[in-house]
Structure 1
Amino acid sequence: MADFTFIILTFNEAQNLPRLLQSIAGLDAKTYVMDSGSTDHTLEICREYGVITAYQPFENHPKQWDAALNHFDIGTPWVIGLDADQIVTPELYQLLADFRDENYRSINGIYFNRKYYFKGKWIKHGGYSPIYLLKMFRYGKGYSDLNENMDHRFIIEGDSTIWKKGYILEENIKENDIGFWIAKHNRYSDLLAEEEVERIQLLRTQTLKPAFFGSPDQRKAWLKRMWWRLPRYLRPFLYFGYRMTFKLGFLDGRIGILFHFLQGFWFRMIVDVKIEEKLAILKTNSRQN
């Protein structure tokens, strides 16, 4: 039996989930799925692969991960949290097959290297590669960061390491339909706008200490803090320009440029519009009271 357990979040992932489960088959690791009400064949696929499932209504990703970590009976020293649209590559599979807890006694977290695909295209530039995600951590030493509303991340106590060799591939087949992508990110923009308004109100703080030269997540916390200080409506232009030029996003070709525009500009601009709307409502309510 492996020294780690897989946990996966799902909602209508019949198109994506078989690829992930096939990529980890043979590792002799117990696998759990926390589902939020799938109406397709997701749960049937889980039964076919012998995956144990549970149900939790979805509010946001950080709370969903928190519920999963607290619900399932984890009997291994390590946990790996994966999204249903991710795939373990053969190189990463081998690292996991060779993994032994006794070789990582001083480590509580492991970052995986991610390759992100959009409409079949690897997004290699624009700041999207390499991206290191904390996906594996010692059970009881890691938890979901509930100070985030949309971006989910795991927080660990103690030291971590990065596996630069081997990848998780992330490609949501459902997003080949641009209408699905837009609707999904419209929902995400609500969560992100709500989060930033709460940060303006000092109702949310960053769990991690921002540090440019710290861990990958500490660096991201530093960059997010800088983002919050930039003028709304201007920052999407700055970010898109940065991705296109300094991070060479234009080298990703037509599909890549479309992705950088949608994710780096359109999505960020929608968030800023919604922040202004929410702040205006708060201001009006304050005057009425």
Structure 2
Amino acid sequence: MNNPPSLTAIVLTYNEEIHLQRCLDSLKGVCSEIVVIDSYSTDKTKEIAIQNGARFYQNKFSNHANQLNWGIEFGHITTDWVIRVDADEYLSEELGRNIKKDLITMNANVHGIRVKRLMYFFDRPLKKGGMYPIWHTKLWRNGSAFCEQRWMDERMKLNQGETASLEGDLVDHNLNNLTWWIQKHNGYATREAIDILDKIYNFTDAELVPSNLFGNGEERRRWFKQKYLMLPLFVRPLLFWFIRYVLQGGFFEGKRGFIWNILQCGWYRFLVDVKIYEAYKKAGYNKENLILFFKKEYGYDVTKIG
């Protein structure tokens, strides 16, 4: 029997001592190498990474896309394949087995592989309300992909070849408390607002995953998101909540589903729109004024993602 192609995991970290061991344990026996790209953690992240045999690098964080592309470029990756895994994620046993088995016989035309993300909330999986399965391109042949330059919701973009799918879940199970989650999403909302305004004012000329109703799952989601953004401010969060919670059955998740959809589909999307509204109220509809606003108020140079 042939040995499977070699595989490197890139793991982005910042103060991830609560998650990192679990993540690394799931990668052992699947990946030939593990590369941790850290944003100058102040906890035991470095010690855990090194103790588990990972190669450890540090780079100043600006956004996830930059950090991942930095790892691809400077992580000295020489394996056949690369997989992107967040520190609060881990491979299910089924996914690990299928990676080892299916990479051996993968068609030469396939340069990217999509896997299913399974999100946990309050320590249980979310499978209703459009939350599962959500397919993401997480594996790619070395040199065949880069992360699109976005402030939020970044995806891997292939520069050649086709995509295939593997069964098994990439489990996203964050163990931090609700206050941490809210603070994180407040920051996400700022970057999401910048991304939306970038589409209107062309702050950057980044190369993005295309939107295509008839494309793969990521391209379809991007198409639907563009249609969502055409709706009026403050109306679209209500519609999004209704679709996820009512039409897609989020209410079947019980209290967890109610909380999740209020926070993620309602409050978070509403907060994004409020931040756009704030920008317009303080800077008007002038591109240069908006650029200055985000630099002064939030410290972001919106003209330089990369």
Whether TM exceeds 0.5 here: the answer is yes
Residue pair 2:36, 2:56 contacting (<8 A) in 1 also: yes
Deviations 1:237-260 (A, max 9, x none): 000011111110000110121011
Give the whole-Å Cα distance in 1 for the aligned partners of 2:99 and 2:113.
Answer: 11
Q: CA deviation at 1:24?
A: 1.6
Give the whole-Å Cα distance in 1 for the aligned partners of 2:42 and 2:81.
Answer: 31
Q: CA deviation at 1:190?
A: 0.8
Q: How does 1:153-172 map to 2 (within 5 A)?
A: 153-156=155-158, 157-163=160-166, 165-172=167-174
Pairwise CA RMSD of aligned residues?
1.7
Q: Percent identity?
A: 31
Q: CA deviation at 1:281?
A: 2.4
The structure 1 residue matched to 2:120, chosen from 107, 117, 120, is 117
Q: Which moved more, 1:209-218 or 1:84-93?
A: 209-218
Q: How does 1:6-25 map to 2 (within 5 A)?
A: 6-25=9-28
Where structure 2 has 5 or more consecutive residues not aligned to the other structure, the ranges are 290-306
1:72 and 2:75 are equivalent in the alignment: yes
SS of structure 2 residue aligned to 1:220 = helix
Residue pair 1:117, 1:171 contacting (<8 A) in 2 also: yes
Amino acid in structure 2 at the alignment position of 1:153: R
Amino acid in structure 1 at the alignment position of 2:38: D
Deviations 1:181-232 (A, max 9, x none): 1100001111111121222213356723211121111111101111110111
Q: CA deviation at 1:93?
A: 1.0
1:106 and 2:109 are equivalent in the alignment: yes
Name the residue aligned to 1:230: 231
Where structure 1 has 5 or more consecutive residues not aligned to the other structure, the ranges are none
- TM-score, normalised via structure 1 length: 0.93
Q: CA deviation at 1:92?
A: 0.7
Amino acid in structure 2 at the alignment position of 1:249: G
Name the residue aligned to 1:269: 270
Q: CA deviation at 1:17?
A: 0.9
Name the residue aligned to 1:60: 63
Deviations 1:84-116 (A, max 9, x none): 111111111111222445533110100011111
- TM-score, normalised via structure 2 length: 0.88
The structure 2 residue matched to 1:39, chosen from 36, 39, 42, is 42
Residue pair 1:115, 1:168 contacting (<8 A) in 2 also: yes
Give the whole-Å Cα distance in 2 for the aligned partners of 1:7 and 1:169.
Answer: 16
SS of structure 1 residue aligned to 2:109 = coil
Name the residue aligned to 1:196: 196
Give the whole-Å Cα distance in 2 for the aligned partners of 1:234 and 1:284.
Answer: 20
Q: How does 1:113-262 map to 2 (within 5 A)?
A: 113-146=116-149, 148-156=150-158, 157-163=160-166, 165-174=167-176, 177-204=177-204, 207-262=208-263
SS of structure 2 residue aligned to 1:168 = strand
